[in-house]
Structure 1
Amino acid sequence: MLDLPDTDTLYAALLARDPAWEGRALVGVTTTGIFCRLTCPARKPLPQNCRWFATPDAAQAAGFRPCRRCYPLGPTAEGDALVGDLIARLEARPGHRWSESDLLALGHDPSTVRRAFKRHFGQSFLDMARAARLKGGMGRLAKGSAMIDAQLEAGFDSASGFRGAFARLFGHAPHQMRQGSDLLADWIDTPLGGMIAICDDQALHLLEFIDRKALPDGLRRLSTHVGGRVGLGRTATHDLTEAQLAAYFAGRAPRLDVPVTLHGTPFQQQVWRALQDIPAGQTRSYAQLAHAIGRPTATRAVARANATNRIALVVPCHRVIGADGTLTGYAGGLWRKEKLIGIERRYA
């Protein structure tokens, strides 16, 4: 029961199948010997037949077996057979131009697929497929390929389609990124999805998940800060960031030791530096973060600064939760926040 609230609160969350408790609490049912997520669709046990655990390891140590309906041993999306099947197909054919017709041909209802992916990833399957195609086009452009080659690599039928998708992501047309620039953008794959990293030879300036809605705006703001456009390419800082992320997700690096340049007001930078002081495996509330920077009445301003962080993971804004223990919002998606906090339990 360490770090868990009272049993009445947990049982109410179980009856409501409250997703806010994903990754934070599990229930063991003494009459069946099985432990589940609080969101499990199975019939709910009586309160006297419940035991509560903070981690799967604790539940198994107490003799409970994992439920086969809600898959409590893995991240939420891994327990969804539909999602798992389509993710595997996307990885096998990243350049394919997926459509609703493809989903129907596989026997899937497009609306069901859309809801499942939105629930787990905050975006549709077709959005993820478009991002995978755009990644291919970015790679070709960074190597100096002709526009038509990059367009075909990305799987777009028309140059206007490719330019439109590119402009929505970066805030300007792709040809503007092929000219010289002090800052270079490249793609980094992670277990939680692709990320755009913008670096120079000395530091990381931006690290965002590719599907974040505010990414184009963040790129435009960064371009304004540096007084010019951001180009496509790779630096030694990209290599360092990619290696540090790989070690972090593998459980070998609790702190992402990458030099950063923070673009923001003095107050924002103060908040972001305080975020870097939160150890992996721990969390803070917005009020605690405000106290840590000596501004105890600035909780709302701290929350706004937290939301405007443009260097995900390295500046760990995902470690800030609500005062009542709920995960609260995360621009990269609550599903990612759930998984990141789960990953960091190994570092506690």
Structure 2
Amino acid sequence: MTATAQLAPQLQINPDSAWEKLISRDKTAGFLYAVLTTGVFCRIGCGSRPPRRENVRFFGTAAEASSAGFRPCQRCTPTERDPLDRVREHIERNLDRAVPLAELARISGLSPFTVQRNFKREFSVSPLAYQRALRAARFRAALKEGNSVTDAVYNAGFSSPSRAHEAAQLGMTPARFAQGGKGERIGFATASTPFGWMIVGATDRGLCWLALDGTKAAAETTLREEFPLADLRRDASLSTLIDAALASVHEGSDLSHSLRSAEAPNSQEANLTSIDLRGTVFQLRVWNALRQIPRGQTRTYSQLARELGMPNSTRAVARACALNRVSVLVPCHRVVGVSGSLTGYRWGVERKRKLLDAEKERRS
């Protein structure tokens, strides 16, 4: 095989996005970098001094970097398997029991203190919190697949339904979640807007759904698919939530201010100033951070991860944005790709473009 053939995969790495991942030390990047002035190649998350951009080359594998004449870094040992990967995989294989730090230390060859510190630095959560998050995800998946609440609780590794409910952040009881929101009462309203048909849904705790679609019927379908067995009732008074969403685009108003300005009906005004978000602790942190991005401004996924103090969690942040249930008021449309591209948007990229354009016009 020729040297040219060996290096071919390198050409598939976008230098601009790769540089962004290097600057943010995104350890999920999946490739390596080499420095011309030192002749060394490293993991993206290496703690060595940041290189100058013109001296950097990117490689898909250690073999490619070695073939190009670079030697492995002795600090981050890019040719060896990361001990934290062994820790992570061990946790994932043992969700049904407690995994003490001492056990993780034996797996990794590190001290318990070092495992705890390095794991939290790498994944932004402790080993215990990581295990709990995976259990919660398994629990929610089992409920959606039709498992009984009891089976889902214990198969996910929880000791009791109350612990499962607390960890899974369902926003309702496990039984109601398993039954597609059965017994949950959700009022809704729809209206045509410059960004398509908008539907809002609200529980007695606040706004739980805001979606955009091409037709009124399609918009209403999104709510029925999310809560297939809930008691859905049309409520014209909830149109104030649509007004609030549009005001957030045109004026930058938050939900409570917009509703006060619109003189929302007294019967539900106190509750409608809240947003009933339902997700994991991590997702809730991301969604709250989205609400802090000023109207007319954008962030990249990596910038948002850094602002959250989790520079290595860019992909997880992007995934949380994609699962946002309350568009516009939780403005995931204000997050863009590293190059400024709009990338994907749950409600359609063209709507994302219109939302950003409207915010910029009003801002100027």
TM-score, reference length from structure 1: 0.44
Greater C-alpha Rg = 2
TM-score, reference length from structure 2: 0.42
